[in-house]
Structure 1
Amino acid sequence: MLQRPVELANYMSAEFGKTLDRFGLRRSSGRTGICFDNAMAESFFGALKNERVSRVTYLTREAARQDITRYIEFWYNRKRLDSAVGYRPPRGVHADYEKLRIVA
């Protein structure tokens, strides 16, 4: 079994936290066992499973990859309304963000 240094294996360690504080950075996740860190990812994968994957039988991994990619790129990002961003498609929200970023 591959052994990792303790500081790499546990990114929530006190030493890691001190390093982030020193550089004025914040952690991208909370304490161990806090479920809210994964809420958006869980929501996405739940939608993917319920809206697409569980409704299709894939004969090959490649067929699954292509179909899931199409779902994400042409349906989820462009047309599907997302309650987390005001019932707008994620791609539209991202485009608005980019416009504001350029203006700023």
Structure 2
Amino acid sequence: MVADRRLRAALHSRGVMVGRHRLRTLMRNNGIRPVWKRKFIHTTNSHHTLPIAENVLNRQFEPAAMNRAWVADIT
């Protein structure tokens, strides 16, 4: 656990010697929980005012001629 290592290092720099298991027990007993940095941030915003492309294919998957409709799969 990274948080208890940082706390242990901070205590050690102040002259307080405590073992990592003892520190974890003290943190648990006092309700101290580490704050984790988020690893992934959702960037999709569905509530925007940007223009949305028109659905010109309108689920007609058999175009009248070749090279008239191109599709892609972003999944």
> What is the TM-score of this pair, normalised by structure 2?
0.28
Structure number with the bigger relative contact order (C-alpha 8 A, sep ≥ 6) is 2
Largest Rg, 1 or 2: 2
Give the structure with the higher percent helix.
1
